[in-house]
Amino acid sequence: MKSLGSAIVFSSLFVIVYTLCFYFNVALFKYYPLIGEFHIDSQPKNAGPPISWYGWIAIALLVSLPAALLVPKSLGGKFPPYLAWLVPGLVLLAVLVYEKRWFV
């Protein structure tokens, strides 16, 4: 049951942190495909637009993976299994509502 609790914590926390990173455009690093380089600090000249997705994934992993691994057995068994789908589903719905401005 502990692994299920860890999975619920991981999936819920990952989707929340990832969405916050997306919304506030906070990335651990950015990838510049025109020059094929990752950069943590400032944008190099003539680098073109960056891809922040890799940095968002890294931040979400760095936050949610340790939290999921540190869930005690007593707490892990108390999470109902539907939370593993409910929290990401609600966040997905919120992102769709936020992004509808591009389609309406």
Please state the domain extents for the chain.
2-102
Please give the DSSP secondary-structure letter assigned to residue 51.
Answer: B
Q: Which residue has the higher pLDDT, 16 or 81?
A: 16
Average pLDDT over residues 39-61: 90
- Average pLDDT, integer, range 42-64: 91
Helix (H, G, I), strand (E, B) or coil at 34: coil
pLDDT in tens, 22-37: 999 999 999 999 999 9
Average pLDDT over residues 49-66: 95
Phi, psi of 44, deg, nearest 5? -70, 155
Q: What is the pLDDT of residues 84-93, one digit of tens each?
A: 889 889 999 9
Residue pair 32/50 in contact (Cβ under 8 Å)? The answer is yes
Binning the chain into helix, strand and coil, the percentages to the nearest 5 are 60, 5, 30
- Identify the residue with better confidence: 2 or 62: 62
Query: pTM of the entire structure?
Result: 0.84
